[in-house]
């Protein structure tokens, strides 16, 4: 499994030759100006919620690639009405796709579209692919529901928001990593706007002092699991 950070909460995940894009917000992000959205490959687009900083490039990528949009039922319905291929889910449900199994899990946040349309309830994804399992938290507060995840899935990586203000801060993300029983963390949803700028060294040190490994990738950089 290869995971690429495209800035903010945008990810590329490659599993067994299939490509998944998560929460694409690339073209409006000046820090991601070196990423060409039109060059991205996608078989699936996973969306945690409907906020503009998670869906900005969905239609461009879906038009280019014919990718299937996977999200909650309301977001899937919104895109199905526009003629896109979709797969609706809701909290607690899972589906086995050709790249692996996806479970849509709880996130504490909100989820309206930029145009005011109802975006259902926000979520995160647990992906069991090949021999590696990951949790993509989405925008969320710390919540005890995270403790449910390791009851079913042993995680190799937790992707957690750490930027504070709209989501968990670093300290809460450390507790979240305890809740999901995973000490390898990729931080996201930081630095994009003034509200969520963080001190990278301090964040990494806080995780290190808690016995955990926080990775912060340059935009466009990848890790292999
Ligand atoms: Ni949000
Ligand atoms: Mn966000």
How is the beta sheet containing 44-46 ordered, strand by strand?
A: 86-89, 68-72, 44-46, 18-22, 11-15, 2-5, 222-224
d(CA 190, CA 89): 27
C-beta separation of 7 from 26 below 8 A: yes
Tokens encoding 123: 């979520």
Q: What is the CATH number of the domain that holds 21?
A: 3.60.15.10
Confidence band for 130, pLDDT divided at 50, 70 and 90:
confident
Strand partners, 104: 125
Strand partners, 195: none
CA angle 51, 69, 215 (to 5 degrees): 65
User: Rounded to the nearest whole angstrom, what is the distance from the C-alpha of residue 51 to the centroid of ligand 2?
Assistant: 6
Let me know if residue 29 belongs to a domain: yes
Let me know if residue 222 belongs to a domain: no
| Separation in Å, CA 73 to CA 12, 95, 109, 137, 186 | 22, 13, 17, 18, 27
Strand partners, 187: 160
Let me know if residue 30 belongs to a domain: yes
User: Rounded to the nearest whole angstrom, what is the distance from the C-alpha of residue 23 to the centroid of ligand 2?
Assistant: 9
User: Rounded to the nearest whole angstrom, what is the distance from the C-alpha of residue 10 to the centroid of ligand 2?
Assistant: 10
User: Rounded to the nearest whole angstrom, what is the distance from the C-alpha of residue 55 to the centroid of ligand 1?
Assistant: 10
Which residues have a beta carbon within 5 Å of ligand 1, which is an ion? 51, 139
Ligand having the closest approach to the CA of 189: 2
Question: Kind and range of the H or E element at 195?
Answer: none
Nearest in space to 6 (alpha carbons), one of 177, 173, 194, 189: 189
User: Rounded to the nearest whole angstrom, what is the distance from the C-alpha of residue 195 to the centroid of ligand 1?
Assistant: 13
pLDDT value of position 91 = 98
Let me know if residue 224 belongs to a domain: no
Expressed as residue numbers, the domain containing 20 is 2-216
**Tens digit of each residue's pLDDT (9 = 90 or more) over 65-111:** 999 999 999 999 999 999 999 999 999 999 999 999 999 999 999 99
Let me know if residue 166 belongs to a domain: yes
Q: pTM for the full model? A: 0.98
Instruction: Report the DSSP pairing between strands 2-5 and 11-15.
Output: antiparallel
User: Rounded to the nearest whole angstrom, what is the distance from the C-alpha of residue 188 to the centroid of ligand 2?
Assistant: 10
Ligand having the closest approach to the CA of 114: 1
**Tens digit of each residue's pLDDT (9 = 90 or more) over 9-40:** 999 999 999 999 999 999 999 999 999 999 99
Let me know if residue 225 belongs to a domain: no
Strand partners, 46: 22, 70
Domain count, the chain: 1
User: Rounded to the nearest whole angstrom, what is the distance from the C-alpha of residue 108 to the centroid of ligand 1?
Assistant: 10
Tokens encoding 224: 């292999």
User: Rounded to the nearest whole angstrom, what is the distance from the C-alpha of residue 172 to the centroid of ligand 1?
Assistant: 17
**Tens digit of each residue's pLDDT (9 = 90 or more) over 141-178:** 999 999 999 999 999 999 999 999 999 999 999 999 99
User: Rounded to the nearest whole angstrom, what is the distance from the C-alpha of residue 166 to the centroid of ligand 1?
Assistant: 7
Let me know if residue 93 belongs to a domain: yes
Let me know if residue 68 belongs to a domain: yes
């Amino acid at each position: 499994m290869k995971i690429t950070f495209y800035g903010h909460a945008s990810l590329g995940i490659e599993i067994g030759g299939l490509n998944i894009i998560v929460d694409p917000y690339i073209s409006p992000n000046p820090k991601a100006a070196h990423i060409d959205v039109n060059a991205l490959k996608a078989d699936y687009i996973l969306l945690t919620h409907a906020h503009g900083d998670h869906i900005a490039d969905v239609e461009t990528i879906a038009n280019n690639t014919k990718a299937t949009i996977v999200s909650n039922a309301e977001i899937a319905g919104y895109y199905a009405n526009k003629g896109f291929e979709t797969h609706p889910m809701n909290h607690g449900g899972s589906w086995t796709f050709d790249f692996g199994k996806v479970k849509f899990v709880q996130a504490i946040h909100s989820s309206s579209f930029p145009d005011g349309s109802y975006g259902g309830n926000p979520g995160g994804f647990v992906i069991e692919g090949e021999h590696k399992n990951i949790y993509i938290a989405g925008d969320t507060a710390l919540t005890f529901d995270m403790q449910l995840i390791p009851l079913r899935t042993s995680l190799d990586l937790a992707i957690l928001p750490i930027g504070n203000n709209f989501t968990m801060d670093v300290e809460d993300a450390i507790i979240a990593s305890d809740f999901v029983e995973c000490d390898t963390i990729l931080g996201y949803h930081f630095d994009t706007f003034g509200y969520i700028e963080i001190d990278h060294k301090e964040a990494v040190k806080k995780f290190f002092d808690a016995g955990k490994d926080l990775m912060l990738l340059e935009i466009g950089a990848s890790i292999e699991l």
